[in-house]
Structure 1
Amino acid sequence: MSKQTMKSQFLGSLRSKQTGVRILSLVLFVTVIAFVLYHGTKNPVMLEANGETTKVYTHATTVEEFIETQDLDISQYDKVTPSLSTEIDSGMSIHWEQAKEIVISVDGNQSKVWTTENVVKNILEEANIEVTKHDLISQSLDTEVGADNKIDIQKAFQLTLVDGLEKRQVWSTSTTVANFLKQQEIQLAESDRVDKNLEDVITPNDKIAVVRVEKVTDVVEESVDFAVEKKNDSSLMKGNEKVVTEGKKGKVERTYNIVKENGKVVSKEIVAENVVEKPTTKVVAVGTKVVTASVSRSAEPATGKEFYVEATAYTPYCTGCSGISAAGVNLRANSDLKLVAVDPSVIPLGTKVWVEGYGYAVAGDTGGAIKGNKIDILVQTKAQANSWGRKKVRIKVLN
Structure 2
Amino acid sequence: MKRFVKGLVLSSALLLSAVTPFMSVEAAPIREIGYKVQVNDALVDFPDSQPYLDDAHVLQAPVRFVSDKLGYEAHWENAGNELKVTLTNKKNTISFTTGDSSAVLNGKPITLQSVPKIVNGRVYFSVRALADVLGIQMQWDSSNQIAIYGADGKYHAPAWYATKFEKVIEGKATAYTAAPEENGGFASVDYFGNSLQVGTIAVDPNVIPLGSKVYVEGYNYDGLPAGGMYATASDTGGAVKGNKIDIFVPDPKAKAQQFGIQQVKIYVLE
The TM tier, using the shorter chain, reads 0.3 to 0.5
Q: TM-score, normalised by structure 1?
A: 0.27
Higher relative contact order (CA 8 A, sep 6+): 2
Normalised TM-score (structure 2): 0.39
Larger radius of gyration: 1
